[in-house]
C-alpha cells in the first residue's frame, strides 16, 4: 500500500488527519464505484428492445429485469448491512463491488431470460450497501462541517453516470451488442476494486459492532421518518422522469430526436443540484432538505402548467433534475439520526430511493391510464413532494420536542 493510502484512515480508528491528496484519491475510488453502479442501473432502459429480441420476449416483458434489479436493491441494502455488521468497511466495499462486477459480467453471458432476470436481482443486492458504506467512509475523512460535500462527491459518480456513463454504455450496446454494455459496466466495477485496494487502507471494526446494534436503527423513529422523506418525497422526480419522453413528443410537440436532449438536461440538472446541494447541506442539513422539498413542489407544478411550451419544458426538466440537491443532505441526516447503527441506516437510504422510483413511476402511469396527459405527472410529483415535506416537518417537530425539557 502506498504512503498516500496509509494516510487515509477510518474515523473509528483515527489518529491523524488524512492529507488532501489521500482524501481525493479515496473519494475518486468511491465515486468511480458509484459511476459504475449508476451506469449499470440505468443502461438497461435504453437496451430493452435488444434484450427482448435476444430472448424472444416482449419489450414490456423484458422490463421486468428493471424491477428485478430494484427489488435486489431494496432487499440487499438492509440485509447486507446487518449481516456485515462485524466486517471492516474496506473489506465490505471490496466485497460489494466484487459481487456487482461479477453480476454484470455474468448478466452479459446469461443464456436465458430467466437467468438474466435472476442475475439482475443478484447484481442489485450490493447497490445500497455500497453507497451507504462509501458515504460513511467519505464523511469520516473530513471535518464535520464538510461531511455533506464529501457525501455529494461520492454521489457525483452516480449523477455523472446519468449524463455520460449511461449514454456511452447504451451506444456501445446498440453498436455491438447489449451484452457488451454489461461487460463494460463489469469492467468499471473491477477498476473500482483496484482503486479501493490501492487507496483505502485497512480499517478496524468497532469493538461494539454487532448485528443487534445495527438492528437498533429500526427502533429509532427519526430513521424511519428520514427514510420516509426519501421514499415519498423523491417519488415525484421519478413520476416525471419515467414519462418525460412521452411528454416531450406528445405534449410539447417535439420530435423524438429531442428526447435525448431533454434527458441530458435532466442529467445536467442532477449534477448541478448535487454540487450546489452538497454545499448548502454543509451550511444547514435540515434547511436544505426542507427548502428543496418546497422547491420541488413549485417546479413540478410549473412543469404541468407549462409542458406544452418547449422552452419551459426544457427549463423545468433541468430544474427538476436540480432537485437532487437534497439527496446528499438526506444521506447525511440518516447517518446523524442513526447514532451507532449508521451502516444499516445509510444503506437503507438507497432502498428508500428505489421505493420512490417504483412509487413515482406507478402513480404517474396510473394517472395517465385514467385519461390524463403525461404532463399531469408533474402534479403527481408535486403532491408526493408535499407529502415528503409533511414527513420532514413531523421529523423536525419530534426532534424539537425531544430536546425540550
Residue 217, pLDDT score: 66
Q: How many residues does the chain have?
A: 405
Which CB contacts under 8 angstroms, 24+ apart, belong to 357-361?
357/70, 357/235, 357/238, 358/67, 358/70, 359/231, 359/232, 359/235, 359/238, 359/384, 360/234, 360/235, 360/236, 360/237, 360/238, 360/239, 360/240, 360/241, 360/242, 360/384, 361/238, 361/239, 361/242
Contact predicate 386/297, CB 8 Å: yes
Q: Name the stretches of the chain with pLDDT < 50.
A: 1-15
Q: In the numeric block, which cell numbers belong to residue 71?
A: 427489488
A 10 A CB-CB count for 224 gives 18
**Distances in Å between the alpha carbon of 70 and those of 61, 87, 93?**
15, 25, 20
**Distances in Å between the alpha carbon of 78 and those of 85, 222, 282?**
11, 17, 27
Considering only CA atoms, which of 322, 318, 304 is closest in space to residue 383?
304
**Distances in Å between the alpha carbon of 332 and those of 137, 138, 155, 345?**
12, 11, 12, 10
Whole-number percent of the chain with pLDDT over 70: 91
Considering only CA atoms, which of 262, 324, 43 is closest in space to residue 165?
43
Query: Could you give the count of Cα atoms lying within 13 Å of 112 in the half-sphere of its Cβ?
Result: 3
Secondary structure class of 293 (helix, strand, coil): helix
Q: CA geometry: angle at 288 spanning 318 and 340, to 5°?
A: 125
Contact predicate 353/233, CB 8 Å: no
Q: Give the whole-angstrom CA distance, residue 153 versus residue 87.
A: 24
* b (16+ CB within 10 A) / e for 304-315: bebbeebeebbb
Residue 301, pLDDT score: 96
Q: In the numeric block, which cell numbers belong to residue 184?
A: 463494460
- The distance of Cα 387 from the centroid of its chain, to the nearest Å, equals 20
Q: In the numeric block, which cell numbers belong to residue 393?
A: 416537518
Contact predicate 146/282, CB 8 Å: yes
Contact predicate 259/381, CB 8 Å: no
Architecture of domain 210-405: Up-down Bundle (1.20)
The CATH number of domain 1-207 is 1.20.1250.20: yes
Do the two domains 1-207 and 210-405 of this chain adopt the same fold?
yes
Delimit the domains of the chain by residue range.
Answer: 1-207, 210-405
Alpha helices in 56-165 (DSSP H): 59-62, 64-83, 89-108, 113-140, 147-160
Secondary structure class of 145 (helix, strand, coil): helix
Q: Give the whole-angstrom CA distance, residue 276 versus residue 120.
A: 33
Contact predicate 356/364, CB 8 Å: no
Residues with Cβ within 8 Å of 350's Cβ and at least 6 positions away in sequence, in order, are 73, 77, 127, 128, 131, 132
Q: Give the whole-angstrom CA distance, residue 294 versus residue 318.
A: 16
**Distances in Å between the alpha carbon of 343 and those of 39, 52, 192, 336, 383?**
24, 37, 20, 11, 31
Query: Is the entire prediction scored with pTM above 0.75?
Result: yes
Q: Give the whole-angstrom CA distance, residue 155 versus residue 274.
A: 8
Residues with Cβ within 8 Å of 20's Cβ and at least 6 positions away in sequence, in order, are none
Q: In the numeric block, which cell numbers belong to residue 68?
A: 428485478
Amino acid at each position: 500500500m502506498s504512503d498516500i493510502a496509509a494516510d487515509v484512515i477510518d474515523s473509528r480508528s483515527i489518529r491523524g488527519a488524512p492529507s488532501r491528496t489521500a482524501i481525493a484519491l479515496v473519494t475518486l475510488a468511491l465515486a468511480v464505484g458509484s459511476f459504475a453502479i449508476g451506469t449499470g442501473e440505468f443502461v438497461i432502459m435504453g437496451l430493452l428492445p435488444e434484450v427482448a429480441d435476444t430472448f424472444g420476449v416482449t419489450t414490456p416483458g423484458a422490463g421486468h429485469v428493471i424491477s428485478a434489479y430494484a427489488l435486489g436493491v431494496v432487499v440487499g441494502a438492509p440485509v447486507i448491512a446487518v449481516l456485515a455488521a462485524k466486517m471492516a468497511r474496506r473489506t465490505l466495499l471490496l466485497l460489494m463491488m466484487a459481487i456487482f462486477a461479477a453480476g454484470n459480467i455474468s448478466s452479459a453471458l446469461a443464456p436465458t431470460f430467466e437467468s438474466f432476470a435472476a442475475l439482475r436481482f443478484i447484481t442489485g443486492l450490493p447497490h445500497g450497501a455500497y453507497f451507504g458504506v462509501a458515504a460513511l467512509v467519505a464523511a469520516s475523512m473530513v471535518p464535520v462541517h464538510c461531511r455533506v460535500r464529501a457525501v455529494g462527491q461520492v454521489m457525483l459518480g452516480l449523477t455523472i453516470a446519468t449524463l455520460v456513463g449511461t449514454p456511452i454504455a447504451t451506444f456501445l450496446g446498440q453498436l455491438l451488442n447489449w451484452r457488451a454494455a454489461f461487460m463494460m459496466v463489469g469492467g468499471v466495477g473491477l477498476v473500482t476494486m483496484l482503486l479501493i485496494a490501492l487507496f483505502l487502507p485497512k480499517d478496524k471494526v468497532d469493538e461494539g459492532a454487532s448485528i443487534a446494534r445495527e438492528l437498533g436503527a429500526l427502533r429509532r423513529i427519526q430513521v424511519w421518518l428520514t427514510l420516509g422523506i426519501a421514499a415519498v418525497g423523491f417519488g415525484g422526480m421519478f413520476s416525471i422522469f419515467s414519462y418525460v419522453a412521452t411528454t416531450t413528443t406528445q405534449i410539447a410537440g417535439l420530435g423524438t430526436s429531442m428526447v435525448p436532449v431533454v434527458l441530458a438536461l435532466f442529467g445536467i440538472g442532477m449534477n448541478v443540484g448535487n454540487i450546489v446541494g452538497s454545499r448548502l447541506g454543509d451550511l444547514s442539513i435540515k434547511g436544505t432538505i426542507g427548502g428543496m422539498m418546497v422547491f420541488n413542489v413549485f417546479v413540478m407544478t410549473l412543469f404541468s402548467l407549462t409542458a406544452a411550451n418547449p422552452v419551459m419544458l426544457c427549463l423545468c426538466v433541468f430544474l427538476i433534475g436540480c432537485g437532487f440537491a437534497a439527496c446528499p443532505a438526506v444521506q447525511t441526516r440518516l447517518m446523524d439520526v442513526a447514532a451507532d447503527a449508521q451502516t444499516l441506516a445509510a444503506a437503507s437510504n438507497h432502498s428508500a430511493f428505489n421505493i420512490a422510483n417504483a412509487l413515482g413511476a406507478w402513480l404517474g402511469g396510473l394517472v395517465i391510464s385514467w385519461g390524463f396527459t403525461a404532463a399531469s405527472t408533474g402534479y403527481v410529483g408535486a403532491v408526493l413532494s408535499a407529502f415528503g415535506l409533511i414527513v420532514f416537518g413531523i421529523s423536525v417537530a419530534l426532534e424539537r420536542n425531544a430536546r425540550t425539557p
